[in-house]
Amino acid sequence: MAFDAGGDQSLSRRAMQAELLDAETELQLAYAWRDHRDEKALHRLVTAYMRLAISMAAKFKRYGAPMNDLIQEAGLGLMKAADKFDPDRGVRFSTYAVWWIKASIQDYVMRNWSMVRTGSTSSQKSLFFNMRRVQARLEREAMAQGQTLDKHQLRQMIATEVGVPLRDVEMMEGRLSGSDYSLNATQSVDEEGREWIDVLEDESAQASDLVEETSDTETLREWLLTAMRALNERERFIVRERKLRDDPRTLESLGDELGLSKERVRQLEAAAFQKMRKTLESQSKEVRALLHA
């Protein structure tokens, strides 16, 4: 079901002209949808309460979201309410739908407030939508008593009032202090001004770093090949299968192939590593000698 046909003003007019349901008719429509999936009953139920959804959406205009989008989200919440409503509970549909409509609108506002996720828990949502109101009331009360609250005191009082940790108040204060800005915006009104993105540090590897890394990798590769040449054929085979494969083989599988015990393969592996270590240490000494020559 679409809610944006003709724009939000047209939708608002149609919603205000929709029928008002009495309790008995509302109950019949709810049963028809729940028990028989009667789409005409669902449409009639949702249409009748669309004015409620629009009214609630209007309360969130101050958060800067387009009214048409808010109405869309309110309508989705209304449809979720209709789908989950249980007429046997003895509650009016409008009372039940209010929670779903509000939750849908709040989720939309928080998703679109900033590229940085603002919050998802119920306490963070309560803080997001009530922080400014609670802060203003606390400041008025303090002023009436001739008191002056510093920022830390005010944050602590807000945290206590809303029932959230102090760190959540500090985090939300930063998120609400301003909206997102484009990195392509210029730093001055001058057309020649640099864009903000131009001052960001390039975190990719620099050419000098790449050359140095490539040189080091090649040096290590040569050292490893030299160390491997110091081993006999069986030792080289064991080292390759145990350390140079993407899926290293077990001592037991190598023992079965070579006709040796698992313990003997382990001893040969240890001996091969000891030979390689001595070769690498010898090369390291030679390099240090050349550097200090």
Q: What is the pLDDT of residues 182-207, one digit of tens each?
A: 555 565 555 566 665 555 555 555 55
Is residue 115 over pLDDT 50?
Answer: no
Q: Percentage of residues in the chain with pLDDT exceeding 70? A: 73
Instruction: Pick 208-291's CATH classification: 3.40.190.10, 3.40.50.300, 1.10.10.10, 3.50.50.60.
Output: 1.10.10.10
Residue 243 confidence class, pLDDT cut points 50, 70, 90 = confident
Q: Name the least confident of 114-118, 143-147, 149-153, 170-174.
A: 114-118
Q: How far apart are the two ends of the chain, measured CA to CA in Å?
A: 83
**C-alpha span between 102 and 132 (Å, rounded):** 18
pLDDT tens figures, 8-27: 566 677 777 888 899 999 99
Mean pLDDT of 167-195: 61
Radius of gyration for the alpha carbons in the chain, expressed in angstroms and rounded: 35
Does the model's pTM come out above 0.85? no
Would you identify the CATH topology of the domain 7-113? Four Helix Bundle (Hemerythrin (Met), subunit A) (1.20.120)
| Burial degree of 228 (CB within 10 A; 0-12, 13-18, 19+) | middle
